[in-house]
Chains A and B, each alone.
Chain A
Amino acid sequence: MLETQDGKEFESVIEGRNLHKKFRGFALDIDRLYVPQGFATALIGENGAGKTTLLNILAGIRLDYRGELCYFGKYTAEDRETNPVVKENIGYTGPGNYYLPQWRVEQVGEISELLFDGFHRDRFEEWCGRLAVGPDGSNRKISALSDGNRMKLMIAGVMARDTKLLLMDEPASPLDPLMRDNLCGLIREYLAQDEGNRSVLFSTHNVADMENVTDYVIIMEGGRIAETGFVEELKEKYVLVRGEPEFSEAAAPHLVSMNSGRYGFEGICQADRLDALAGCKVSAETPGLSQICVAIMKKYSDLHAGREGKRGM
């Protein structure tokens, strides 16, 4: 169960505790993970923050980790491997060589039919047409498809299934701006079905493009969760401040992150610390999700680079 700042409670579609996966020079270390049910959750973070590792763990692609997971409020990670219901209800799209490069578009449909009970071939073909997979809709080899078309094929593959949860690793990255907009639309369409029981967790670097579909945000940094919350909550928690250049030094310690130049400074400040800037001549605005995310990622990058102490939260 997920509780928001204003006391509202939400069911979680995935809950994780003490998730740990160690690589050489990197460790994923998540004490608590909540993905709210019925919403689109964006997983945001720098390259190498652990987003793909986390999504692979959640999808069951990686099993070499420690920790506890709970799906749909009742299934454990062990159930995911033994009870077909769990994987049947989870759709996953990933980057790179997700399908064998020799396969053809039609083959993906044939194989998916074998792999999933809830896969509908007619729906798959419909989605392939709707997303314009391949330049002329032909039955091309996967290796001959562009990255964008490969992603569209994966999306068609999961949309053709009856699932309750979509895990999407960087779905927007290889897509053109128009297709990204379509992606937001189809995520909304997916969530609207099944009386709010469907959820989406996607990782993205294109925060601005995906903001209109994002309800809840998990910001990762260095293998840990740096911030979580509903978008509106975060927009209340953080404030975008702008000020004259002479106040930049005085304001810096109170800002999460700051950009300064000859004509002034701009930074993200926690709303409850806005009083500390009383002596500075600053204007306050509601920040965009992208600005909040960048500020938080920047703060943690600075901490990792040993520049802590200069700015605070």
Chain B
Amino acid sequence: MRRAFRSYMALTLKSYRIAVFVVRPLFMLAAAFILMWTSGEKDGLYPENLLFAFAAAGDVMLDGALFGGICQRGAACLGYMRTSDRGMAVFSGGLLVDMLFRFLYYMLIGGWCFLFTGLSQDFAAAALAYTAVTATICFTRHFDNWQVDLLCSAGIAILFSVLYLTFGILQNRLAVDLQPAAAVLCVTVSYAAARHMSWCLKRSYYEKESL
């Protein structure tokens, strides 16, 4: 795991880490504070919905700036990675740590919202937002194109809203706690995303001529 953290640190830019670990959380915590303080369900608004949709949209753009195009066949930098027997491990390790940090970031916002609302479904909202982002970047990482990232960041806000509202509606109609289902979805998508990344890297890495 230590090596994976080192890989993450080496693969990511300092400016990216400042944006991810300092600017993004501070901005989102401030935004959450303002939204939670000033609005509520009584106003017909779902502040956590707005908050996570915004966070997810920003995340897709941020990810595209660093990892855009890495799932393409013959992506830039893979040539260098291939010249080392550890290249694959370094790259996948870095991507896994990125995924872990993303999860922690959403849980941080979820926890912050929970402090205001006292509703445990804020954690479910965080898990769903994380799930939507993880699924979306599996797609956007196939393109080294900020226009695609921009389009997808708009799309993800909708995707998350649909997921979250469906989750809320189902929970009300079925009158059951669906938070474990959100957790299962979160874990399943994370696993699938990790497999997908690994497959994409291997595809241009170890693919052999079919003879």
- Which A positions have Cβ atoms within 8 angstroms of B? 21-22, 59-61, 63-66, 81-84, 86-88, 90-92, 94, 96-104, 107, 110-111, 113-116
CB closest chain-A residue, reference B9 = A110
| Residue contacts A-B, CB under 8 angstroms, 24 given | A22-B209, A59-B82, A59-B83, A60-B83, A61-B79, A61-B83, A64-B207, A64-B208, A66-B209, A81-B85, A81-B206, A83-B85, A84-B85, A87-B83, A88-B85, A92-B83, A97-B76, A97-B77, A103-B13, A107-B10, A114-B3, A114-B7, A115-B83, A115-B90
- Residue B45 is within 8 A (CB to CB) of chain A in the complex: no
Q: Are A111 and B85 in contact (CB under 8 A)?
A: no
Decide if B80 touches A63 in the complex (CB within 8 Å). Answer: no
5 additional contacts, CB 8 Å, given A98-B79, A116-B86?
Answer: A64-B207, A87-B83, A96-B76, A100-B70, A107-B13
Residues from chain B with a CB closer than 8 A to the CB of A97 are 76-77, 79
Known contacts A65-B209, A97-B76, A114-B6: does B13 contact A104 (CB below 8 Å)? Answer: yes
Question: Known: A63-B206, A66-B209, A102-B65. Is A115-B77 also a contact (CB below 8 A)?
Answer: no
Binding site for A on B (CB under 8 A): 3, 6-7, 9-11, 13, 65-66, 70, 76-77, 79-87, 90, 205-209, 211
* CB <8 Å contact, B207 and A115: no
Find B76's partner among A83, A99, A110 (CB 8 Å cutoff): A99
Contact of A87 with B209 at beta-carbon distance under 8 Å, contacts A103-B77, A107-B10, A115-B90 already known: no
Residues from chain B with Cβ under 8 Å of A98 in the complex: 76-77, 79-80
A272 to chain B, nearest CB (A): 40
Residue of B nearest to A22 (CB): B209
Closest to A63 in B: B208
Enumerate chain B residues within 8 angstroms of A110, measured Cβ to Cβ. Answer: 9-10
A109 to chain B, nearest CB (A): 9
B144 to chain A, nearest CB (A): 9
In contact, B7 and A99 (Cβ under 8 angstroms): no
Q: Is the CB of A101 within 8 A of B83?
A: no
Known: A64-B209, A97-B77. A115 touches B87 (CB 8 A): yes
Partner of B85, one of A66, A87, A91, A113: A87
How many angstroms between the C-alpha atoms of A100 and B66 in the bound complex?
A: 9
Please report the C-alpha to C-alpha distance between residue A96 and residue B205 in the assembled complex, in whole angstroms: 18
Q: Is the interface of A mostly helix, strand, loop or mixed?
A: mixed
Cβ–Cβ < 8 Å partners of B81 in chain A: 115
Are A61's CB and B76's CB within 8 A? no
Interface centre among B79, B90, B205, B209, by most A CB within 10 Å? B79
Contacts of A63 in B (CB 8 A): 205-208
CA distance A39 to B9 in the complex (A): 39
Tell me the minimal C-beta distance from B88 to chain A in angstroms.
Answer: 10
Question: A37 CA to B153 CA in the complex, in Å?
Answer: 54
Given the complex, which residues of A lie within 8 Å of B90, measured CB to CB?
Answer: 111, 114-115
Bound state CA distance, A63 and B206, in angstroms? 6
- Residues in A whose Cβ lies below 8 Å from that of B83: 59-61, 87, 90-92, 115
Min distance, Cβ B105 to any Cβ of chain A, angstroms: 21
Min CB distance, B16 to chain A, in Å? 8
Given the complex, which residues of B lie within 8 Å of A111, measured CB to CB?
10-11, 80, 90
Closest to B207 in A: A64
- Least Cβ–Cβ distance between A97 and chain B, in angstroms: 3
Give chain A nearest CB distance to B124 CB in angstroms. Answer: 34
Identity of the chain B residue whose Cβ is nearest the Cβ of A109 in the assembled complex: B10
Neighbour of A101 across the interface among B9, B76, B79, B82, CB < 8 A: B76
**Contacting residues, chain B, for A115 (C-beta < 8 A):** 80-81, 83-84, 86-87, 90
Q: Are A99 and B80 in contact (CB under 8 A)?
A: yes
Q: Complex formed: what's the CA distance from A99 to B66 in Å? A: 13
> How far does the alpha carbon of A306 sit from the alpha carbon of B77 in the complex, in Å?
41
Question: What chain B residues lie within 8 Å of A103 (beta carbons)?
Answer: 13, 77
CA distance A128 to B19 in the complex (A): 29
Q: Is there an interface contact between A61 and B82, defined as CB atoms closer than 8 Å?
A: yes
Q: How far is the CA of A63 from the CA of B77 in the complex (A)?
A: 17
Residue of A nearest to B68 (CB): A102
Q: Give the chain B neighbours of A94 by CB distance below 8 A.
A: 79
Tell me which residues across on chain A come within 8 A of B66, comparing CB atoms.
Answer: 102
Q: How far is the CA of A92 from the CA of B78 in the complex (A)?
A: 13
Smallest Cβ distance from B69 to chain A, in angstroms? Answer: 9
Nearest CB of chain A from residue B3's CB, rounded to whole Å: 7
The answer for the CA separation of A88 and B9 in the assembled complex, in Å, is: 22
**Cα distance A115–B11 in the bound complex, in angstroms:** 12
Let me know if A21 and B84 touch, CB within 8 A. no
CB of B68, distance to nearest CB on chain A (Å): 9
When C-beta atoms are compared, the residue in chain A nearest to B76 turns out to be A97
Nearest B residue (CB) for A59: B83
Q: Is the CB–CB distance between B211 and A66 below 8 Å?
A: yes
Residues from chain B with a CB closer than 8 A to the CB of A107 are 10-11, 13
A279 and B87 CA atoms in complex are apart in Å by: 63
